[in-house]
Amino acid sequence: MGSASREALAQARSALGSGLDTNVGGELLQAARRIAESPALAAALGDASAPAQAKSQLVERLFSGLSAGARSVLTAAVQARWSNVAEFVSGVEELGIRAEGAANAALSDELLAVVDVIDRNHELQLSLGSKLAEPAGKLALVQRLFQGKTSASALAVLSHLVASPRGRRLDATLRQAARLAADEAGSELATVTVAAPLTAEQQQRLARALERSAGRPVRITTVVDPALVGGIRVQIADDVIDGSVRARLADLRQQLAA
pLDDT in tens, 170-189: 988 998 999 999 988 888 88
**Which whole number is the average pLDDT over 190-202?**
86
Q: Is residue 118 located within the same domain as residue 161?
A: yes
What integer pLDDT is reported at residue 249 of this predicted model? 67
156 vs 20: which has the higher pLDDT: 156
Whats the size of the chain, residue-wise?
A: 258
What integer pLDDT is reported at residue 255 of this predicted model? 67
Domain count, the chain: 3
Q: Is residue 209 located within the same domain as residue 130?
A: no
93 vs 125: which has the higher pLDDT: 93
Strands 232-236 and 239-242: antiparallel
Domain final residue, candidates 151, 183, 215: 183
What integer pLDDT is reported at residue 144 of this predicted model? 92
In sequence order, the 6+-apart residues with CB closer than 8 A to the CB of 148 are: none
What integer pLDDT is reported at residue 256 of this predicted model? 66
Give the count of beta carbons closer than 10 Å to the beta carbon of residue 65.
Answer: 10
130 vs 63: which has the higher pLDDT: 63
CB 221 within 8 A of CB 179: no
Q: Is residue 113 located within the same domain as residue 173?
A: yes
Q: How far apart (Å, rounded) are the C-alpha atoms in residues 1 and 38?
A: 21
238 vs 226: which has the higher pLDDT: 226
Q: 65 to each of 27, 39, 60, 102, how far by Cα in Å?
A: 9, 21, 9, 22
Q: Is residue 87 located within the same domain as residue 148?
A: no
Q: What are phi and psi of 223, to 5 degrees?
A: -120, 125
Write out the residue range of the structural domain in which residue 135 sits: 107-183
Domain final residue, candidates 103, 138, 171: 103
Q: Is residue 224 located within the same domain as residue 132?
A: no
**Which whole number is the average pLDDT over 236-254?**
73
Please give the model's pTM, rounded to 2 decimal places: 0.81
What integer pLDDT is reported at residue 215 of this predicted model? 84
Q: What are phi and psi of 240, to 5 degrees?
A: -125, 130
Residue 114 has pLDDT above 70, yes or no: yes
Q: How far apart (Å, rounded) are the C-alpha atoms in residues 101 and 94?
A: 10
Q: How far apart (Å, rounded) are the C-alpha atoms in residues 28 and 65?
A: 12
Domain final residue, candidates 164, 183, 202: 183
Q: 74 to each of 14, 56, 244, 250, how far by Cα in Å?
A: 12, 9, 43, 46
Q: Among 91, 76, 83, which Cα is nearest to 35's?
A: 91
Q: Is residue 200 located within the same domain as residue 239?
A: yes
What integer pLDDT is reported at residue 60 of this predicted model? 94
Q: Is residue 86 located within the same domain as residue 150?
A: no
What integer pLDDT is reported at residue 46 of this predicted model? 93
Q: Is residue 9 located within the same domain as residue 98?
A: yes
In three-state secondary structure terms, 181 is helix
Highest mean pLDDT among 9-23, 169-183, 216-230: 169-183
In sequence order, the 6+-apart residues with CB closer than 8 A to the CB of 105 are: 185
Q: Is residue 147 located within the same domain as residue 87?
A: no
Q: What is the mean pLDDT of the chain?
A: 88
178 vs 17: which has the higher pLDDT: 178
Tens digit of each residue's pLDDT (9 = 90 or more) over 28-49: 999 999 999 999 999 999 998 9
Q: How far apart (Å, rounded) are the C-alpha atoms in residues 211 and 128?
A: 35
Residue 67 has pLDDT above 90, yes or no: yes
Kindly state the DSSP code that residue 227 receives in the 8-state scheme.
Answer: G
What integer pLDDT is reported at residue 74 of this predicted model? 95
Q: How far apart (Å, rounded) are the C-alpha atoms in residues 233 and 73?
A: 37
Q: H/E element holding 233? A: strand 232-236
Residue 258 has pLDDT above 60, yes or no: no
What integer pLDDT is reported at residue 156 of this predicted model? 94
Q: Is residue 87 located within the same domain as residue 33?
A: yes
- Percent of the chain at pLDDT > 70 equals 97
Q: Is residue 52 located within the same domain as residue 7?
A: yes
